[in-house]
Structure 1
Amino acid sequence: MDAKSSATDAKPAAVDAKTAAAVAAAEAAGPSTGESVRIDSWIWSVRLVKTRSIGATACRGGHVRVNGERVKPAYAVRVGDEVRLRHEGRERVVVVKRLIRKRVGAPVAVQCYIDNSPPPPPRETVAAAGIRDRGTGRPTKRDRREMERLRGLGAGPGGPSGGGFAAQGRPGDRDPSGGRGRPNGR
């Protein structure tokens, strides 16, 4: 049993050693004393956004705030700044602990900031409407009407959506022009 316990104790230490080595490499690649890092580059480096261009677009769109103020992509972020990012329907609130320029792995990235974000909304709250079983083919007219009713788009027969007999006539009724689309049956 002692051999097993020592083997399991060594495994977390090895993982921590790898993370520590990665942190050291990230700090070495980071800015030297007195230099700064662009906000779009930093939020990409710590994996808050997938690409740097998405980070720059978020800054230009006013979705990134540093210490409560909207910032441009070239804003120089410093240690201790509070960064608020609205991305993919969620707000992330982080405090900068470390400045890095290059993208790092997730275990290293979480050590570069303090996450004060509210928890994400549960997945069950978003109901998927209109999902059909695979292989059932195209929806019929009845299926489409049912999906519209579930989504709240259609008003039903005789409503503003044009459904019902009053707007469309009965299936066997003929057009007063003789059914040819010409006036007076000509």
Structure 2
Amino acid sequence: MVAADRQRLDKWLFFARAVKSRSLAAKLAVSGRVRINRDKASQASDPVKPGDVLTITLDRRILVWKVLETGARRGPAPEARTLYEDLSPAPSQAAIPDAQAPLRDTGSGRPTKKERRLTDRLHGRE
């Protein structure tokens, strides 16, 4: 049996609001996208205790969280933030997309009918 200071990985991820549901937390753990102290979590029932460092790979980001305490419920976000300390590296500036769409020169998109005819002549497809 698991000691009182330990908690199932899927429950902890759900309580800490890393994912939206406990079933998604279980799928995340089983898929091998969660590491507990550098070891891959193989089951959703792997125990997590205070002091463990979790590396969670989500769609476009990697979270590194140190477990501070086990949760009792899935509460509001401020309560969930007390369960962990965020050790994630700051995102690089290159990974942040620009807010504006890049400008395009006129005619640089699809070729015009005139440009297509010239291309056809070049390739010998008159």
User: TM-score under structure 1 normalisation?
Assistant: 0.50
Q: How does 1:40-59 map to 2 (within 5 A)?
A: 40-59=10-29
Q: Which structure 2 residue ranges, 5 or more long, are not aligned?
A: none
Inter-CA distance 168–105: structure 2 relative to 1 (3 Å threshold):
farther
State the structure with more CA Rg.
Answer: 1
- Name the structure 1 match of 2:51: 80
Deviation at 1:78, TM superposition (A): 0.9
RMSD: 3.2
- What fraction of aligned residue pairs are identical, expressed as a percent? 27
Q: Deviations over 1:98-135 (max 9, x none)?
A: 1014211111111111111112345873258989xxxx
Q: Is the 8 A contact 2:5 2:50 kept in 1?
A: no
Question: Which structure is higher in helix share?
Answer: 1
1:37 corresponding residue in structure 2: 7
Q: How does 1:124-135 map to 2 (within 5 A)?
A: 125-127=96-98
> Partner of 1:62: helix, strand, or coil?
coil
Aligned to 2:125: 169
- The structure, 1 or 2, with the larger RCO (C-alpha pairs under 8 Å, 6+ apart) is 2
